[in-house]
């Protein structure tokens, strides 16, 4: 979809259709009709499970695809379609399919693509629940999962076999914030005729748009930055109509739909995405720079720092580097690390990121508590690791808070 085509679809008359909109203008207006039901400025919430037909002829017209409308809540909602158009425009894709959560989107996509005997190659720093779903649940269906180290493109290519159907990676990854060289990733996939999916939740379409590099499908957990207020669960896939229509069908079969109120909250959150991301980017970089200079910090993982392994790739491909910062407390065991977490005053302790409130966690306790020490070591989760999700608070306040927590 071209930018101008997307704008014409939006039907906002005061801007010429051949003038591309900026990101924030798209966030506010893209995908919406200029005049809404009952002349409301916001899209209404359609709290209905079913949609009625005036007569039998109306059913026939619908079945012949001559009318655009809804039939049953499991297959779609008018507000959902608005948000899908907006997300597709922001990401630069033809279409988007909204799900009840990011993991519902992952599961729906993989189940629509893979069958017994197929293989999928994962970067080993992908979200651990994605890895778990592939390894344990798809494994039961006869799908083989191969994991390769992040940043090792030779290993990535070597893992591809004639049965490989899909390459998957997060970028940046969580919590190490490794950044994929999207051009190289796509080139390897195209060479072998394999499709690609990038989980771009941490980056958001404001900081990078993987479809522009040739990635086939982009995934977001809308729960994070896109919703932005820690008050909803949703996920989305963005790509071509051809690749995503099977996902839309399986979503309807399995009932993996977002609720009408969730859709409303997501649309509201998207309108301020650029404004929030600018502050997330600012806070993330400033906190990372402060932590790297502090004597109690052993190492900082943040792609905006020159010390990060993938800084050159990140600088070339990303507008900003996000609000997620991971660091190691020098010489600390898990209890001493926990005391640093407990001493901060602004961030709340919690397992998510991307909201206006800052969050903090010790991955060993929050996300990898059921791993043995050996298993944690194998995936790069030491006991002295802390992950911070910077919100949109004042930068100086966040830095002062971490200063007192580290020195207290």
Question: What is the per-residue pLDDT across 289-305, written as a single tens digit (0 to 9) for each?
Answer: 999 999 999 999 999 99
Cα gap 70→394, rounded to integer Å: 44
Strand order in the sheet with 348-349: 297-301, 324-329, 385-389, 359-361, 348-349
Q: Which phi and psi (to 5°) does residue 99 adopt? A: -125, 170
**Residue intervals in the chain for CATH 3.40.640.10:** 3-270
Task: Give CA–CA dist 353/254, Å, rounded.
Answer: 27
Q: Of 51, 74, 231, 296, which is the active-site residue?
A: 74
Backbone φ, ψ for residue 390 (5° rounding): -70, 130
- For residue 34, the model assigns a pLDDT of 86
Mean pLDDT of 108-131: 96
Our answer to whether residue 8 is catalytic in this structure is: no
Reported confidence tier of residue 7, pLDDT bands at 50, 70, 90? very low
> 301: which strand partners?
326
315 in active site:
no
Per-residue pLDDT of 18-42, as tens digits, reads 678 999 999 999 999 888 888 899 9
Cα separation, 324 vs 70, whole angstroms: 39
Task: Give the domain 273-407 fold.
Answer: 3.90.1150
Q: In sequence order, what are the residues at sequence separation of 6 or more whose Cβ sits closer than 8 angstroms to the Cβ of residue 394?
A: none
Where do the CATH 3.90.1150.10 domains begin and end in the chain? Answer: 273-407
Percentage with pLDDT > 70 across the chain: 96
Of the candidates 224, 248, 251, 387, the residue annotated as catalytic is 224
> Cα–Cα distances in Å, from 65 out to 60, 80, 94, 220, 323?
9, 19, 20, 30, 44
Residue 8 has a pLDDT of: 39
Catalytic (active site) residue 74: yes
**pLDDT tens per residue, range 332-386:** 999 999 999 999 999 999 999 999 999 999 999 988 888 888 989 888 999 999 9
- Catalytic status, residue 75: no
pTM of the predicted model, to two decimals?
A: 0.92
**Which residue in 43, 85, 127, 248 is the catalytic one?**
127
- For residue 245, the model assigns a pLDDT of 96
DSSP 363-393: HHHHTSTTS-HHHHHHTT--TTEEEEE--SS
pLDDT tens figures, 195-252: 999 999 999 999 999 999 999 999 999 999 999 999 999 999 999 999 999 999 999 9
Find the catalytic residue in 199, 216, 310, 401: 199
Whether CATH 3.10.20.600 fits 3-270:
no
């Amino acid at each position: 979809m071209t930018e101008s085509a997307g704008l014409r679809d939006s039907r906002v008359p005061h801007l010429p259709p051949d003038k591309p909109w900026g990101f924030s203008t798209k966030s506010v207006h893209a995908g919406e009709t200029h005049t809404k039901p009952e002349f409301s400025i916001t899209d209404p919430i359609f709290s209905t499970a079913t949609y009625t037909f005036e007569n039998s002829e109306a059913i026939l017209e619908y079945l012949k695809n001559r009318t655009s409308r809804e039939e049953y809540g499991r297959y779609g909602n008018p507000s959902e379609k608005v948000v899908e158009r907006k997300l597709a425009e922001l990401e630069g894709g033809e279409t988007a399919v909204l799900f009840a959560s990011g993991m519902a989107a992952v599961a729906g996509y993989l189940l629509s693509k893979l069958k017994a005997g197929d293989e999928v190659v994962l970067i080993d720093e992908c979200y651990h629940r994605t890895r778990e779903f592939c390894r344990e649940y798809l494994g039961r269906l006869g799908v083989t999962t191969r994991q390769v180290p992040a940043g090792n493109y030779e290993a990535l290519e070597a893992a591809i076999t004639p049965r490989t159907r899909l390459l998957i990676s997060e970028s940046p990854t969580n919590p190490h914030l490794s950044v994929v060289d999207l051009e190289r990733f796509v080139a390897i996939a195209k060479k072998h005729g394999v499709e690609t999916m990038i989980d771009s939740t941490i980056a958001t379409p404001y900081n990078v748009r993987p479809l522009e590099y040739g990635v086939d499908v982009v995934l977001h957990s809308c729960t994070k930055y896109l919703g932005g207020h820690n008050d909803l669960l949703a996920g989305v896939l963005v790509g071509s109509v051809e690749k995503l229509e099977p996902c839309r069908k399986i979503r309807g079969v399995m009932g993996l739909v977002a609720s009408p109120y969730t859709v409303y909250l997501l649309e509201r959150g998207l309108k301020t995405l650029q404004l929030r991301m600018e502050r997330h980017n600012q806070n993330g970089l400033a906190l990372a720079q402060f932590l790297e200079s502090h004597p109690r910090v052993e190492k900082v993982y943040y792609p905006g720092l020159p010390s990060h392994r993938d800084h050159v790739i990140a600088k070339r491909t990303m507008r900003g580097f996000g609000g997620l910062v991971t660091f190691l407390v020098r010489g600390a065991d898990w209890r001493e690390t926990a005391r640093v977490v407990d001493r901060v005053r602004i961030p709340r302790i919690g397992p998510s990121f991307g909201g206006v409130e800052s969050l903090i966690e010790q991955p060993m306790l929050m996300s990898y508590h059921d791993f043995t020490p050996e298993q944690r070591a194998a995936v790069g989760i030491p006991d002295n690791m802390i992950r911070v999700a910077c919100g949109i608070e004042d930068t100086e306040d966040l830095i002062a808070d971490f200063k007192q927590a580290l020195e207290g």
